[in-house]
Amino acid sequence: MNSAMDPEIEFAWIAKSNPVVQAPDTNGMIKALHNTDFVVVVDMFMTDTAKEADLILPATSIFEESDFIYSSMYSPYLCYAEKCVNAPENMIGEYELFSILAQKMNLESYPAVSRDDFFKRALEPLIERFDLNYEDLKKNPYAIPNQNVPWSDKNFMTPLVANLSLFPMWLQIWGG
């Protein structure tokens, strides 16, 4: 974020993410957020990133709204998560929040469609490329082809340290 100069970042919207501790340079990320005119964080928790925000909005959990979940972090699967509990009163999900903001900002190009139609549009390239069926995706997880699972070869690039052993520390802690 600090290297974005043309144009400079004036506004950041961070949803359900904690880049202050997830990005490689914590201090650099904090500096970048401080150099941003206005930072909004939408999250369920008071994260390190939320502490740096100008505005914090509550977020629904994965259990409180239906969504497709894909995390390239260690899993090649696209999964549908169906809503299983209601969100607390006066709490709205991201889809509704973005829809309301688009209306308030008169963004005529923002798609005023149902959540299900939004999902279908968003997943269209994947559905076409891999000849999938939307309703099947809602019922079964789908493994995205050619998505490597990190460290599947169990080859970690961690340098070996001859005098480092967690086992004796574990024994001391647990009285073994």
- Interval 122-175: pLDDT, tens: 999 999 999 999 999 999 999 888 766 666 777 766 665 555 555 555 555 555
Write the DSSP string, 67-112: EEEE-TTT--EEEEE---SPPPTT---HHHHHHHHHHHTT-TTS--
State the pLDDT at residue 77.
Answer: 85
Amino acid letter, 64: E
CA dist., res. 59 & res. 92, Å (int): 7
- Interval 32-64: pLDDT, tens: 999 999 999 999 999 999 999 999 999 999 899
Domain ranges of the chain: 11-58
